Chains A and B, each alone.
Chain A
């Protein structure tokens, strides 16, 4: 599959009477964008705001972060099976608005969403302090159950991102990158001497708002399968998460997965990037066993030499990670696993809930229990009402001077397990 990604750099976002992109500036009509968000009657009200890097702004509770895109040629559309009709994406041409994001916020469950600081020490810990953020705070109709509200906000975010992306359809990209994968046979013929490597991506699928969707299918209902990595780049996987924000993948991370990007950079040079394998992290032991069996089986059938396995989340998915690692290694395929750690505030506790000797090449996204102080910000987009209850906070989190004492867990993307952030350890 061959995908051309046209990058359009956004240098500023401003509210205006009508929406357009001109000379790298995104102008957004609040009325038009609100009409898109409010297409779903489950959402009572939406308030748009703009947060820029370096501003004294705190966004919370953050649900998702999305990169606006438009599909200009080739099969499928933006977020296939979710917004666009089901069709296989990953080929043709897609434009992405770089340097900006749509951020959905508002209290869904309150204690499970994240924080993005646009300046100060908190900004260093989230990749989304570096993007110009069009923030939409969504308020539900009264009586709406949290899971219905989650779905409504998830879809509203995608609709607004697609609306913004559509503004770029007639533009000329500032830069175009081409990503091309081979079929199995082509790969063998073209790169007979290069090691065959796949990316095994574990998708969060524990349920209760720990969910991921693949072409609109709830990932807890999939069996492990194969994707062209260009499908992932083209929006095949989206987030439905509302939980410990530090190590769940917002949709933006799926669209810009660094493991995919970096494997492509080496494709045909030091390795043959054969494909992406997706699997899940379910809450039944039989599912964990079945999915890891299938993942290892696919690795063997593809005659891989190596696999990079990334986890999403923590706790019982540590077992899925170790099962995948053990079983893939048992097929004679070398693995590197990417995870993060819950090693206690002092960093002295066991980092993962499970372990095995086969896991001898491990990359960490950092210790999510590490405590940081986030100074008071001049402006809050959303609300601080839930900041003492958010996972990684405590009743003493909000201090008298307005600062927050929190674990990294609360910060969106802080210990991301695809290497999307900068934290690690040696």
Chain B
């Protein structure tokens, strides 16, 4: 899906836990997620901490979307 959307000319950020798979399938902008059962959150945190965590991942993804890349890049 990442590749097909990019083929249509729209940049994509792939947020995913297993970044090596994202590299194998050819995503260009990759943002690491937390864990496979809860990619965008962490049930071990309290509500405020978790909200901050979720926001930081989305902000990182939006930042990645507006960053020029010359090849596959993981935004740590």
B36 & A319 in contact (Cβ 8 Å cutoff) = no
B37 & A283 in contact (Cβ 8 Å cutoff) = yes
Residue on B with the closest CB to A284? B35
Contacts of B32 in A (CB 8 A): 285
A285 & B37 in contact (Cβ 8 Å cutoff) = no
Contacts of A322 in B (CB 8 A): 20
A288: interface (CB < 8 Å):
yes
* Total count of chain A residues near the partner, CB < 8 A: 15
B17 & A285 in contact (Cβ 8 Å cutoff) = yes
- How far apart are the CA atoms of A206 and B32 in the complex, in Å? 18
**B contact face: mostly helix, strand, loop, or mixed:** loop
A354 & B17 in contact (Cβ 8 Å cutoff) = no
A323: interface (CB < 8 Å):
yes
Q: How far is the CB of A204 from chain B (nearest CB, A)?
A: 13
Q: How large is the interface on B (under 10, 10 to 19, 20 to 34, 35 or more residues)?
A: 10 to 19
Residue on B with the closest CB to A319? B18
Residue from B18, B34, B37 within 8 A of A288 (CB atoms): B18
A34: interface (CB < 8 Å):
no
- How far apart are the CA atoms of A207 and B36 in the complex, in Å? 10
A151: interface (CB < 8 Å):
no
- Residues of B1-60 contacting chain A, CB below 8 A: 17-21, 24, 32, 34-37
Residue on B with the closest CB to A356? B24
A316: interface (CB < 8 Å):
yes
A285 & B18 in contact (Cβ 8 Å cutoff) = yes
Q: How far is the CB of A321 from chain B (nearest CB, A)?
A: 11
B37 & A319 in contact (Cβ 8 Å cutoff) = no
B20 & A206 in contact (Cβ 8 Å cutoff) = no
- How far apart are the CA atoms of A285 and B37 in the complex, in Å? 12
When each residue 295-330 of chain A gets 1 if its CB lies under 8 Å from chain B and 0 otherwise, what string results? Answer: 000000000000000000000101100110000000
Q: How far is the CB of B56 from chain A (nearest CB, A)?
A: 17
B36 & A354 in contact (Cβ 8 Å cutoff) = no
When each residue 185-211 of chain A gets 1 if its CB lies under 8 Å from chain B and 0 otherwise, what string results? Answer: 000000000000000000000111000
Contacts of B37 in A (CB 8 A): 206-208, 283
Sample of 7 further A-B pairs with CB below 8 A, known A285-B19, A316-B18, A316-B21: A283-B17, A283-B35, A285-B18, A319-B21, A323-B20, A353-B18, A354-B20
3 smallest CB-CB distances across A and B, nearest first, come from: A283-B36, A283-B35, A319-B18
Binding site for A on B (CB under 8 A): 17-21, 24, 32, 34-37
Binding site for B on A (CB under 8 A): 206-208, 283-285, 288, 316, 318-319, 322-323, 353-355
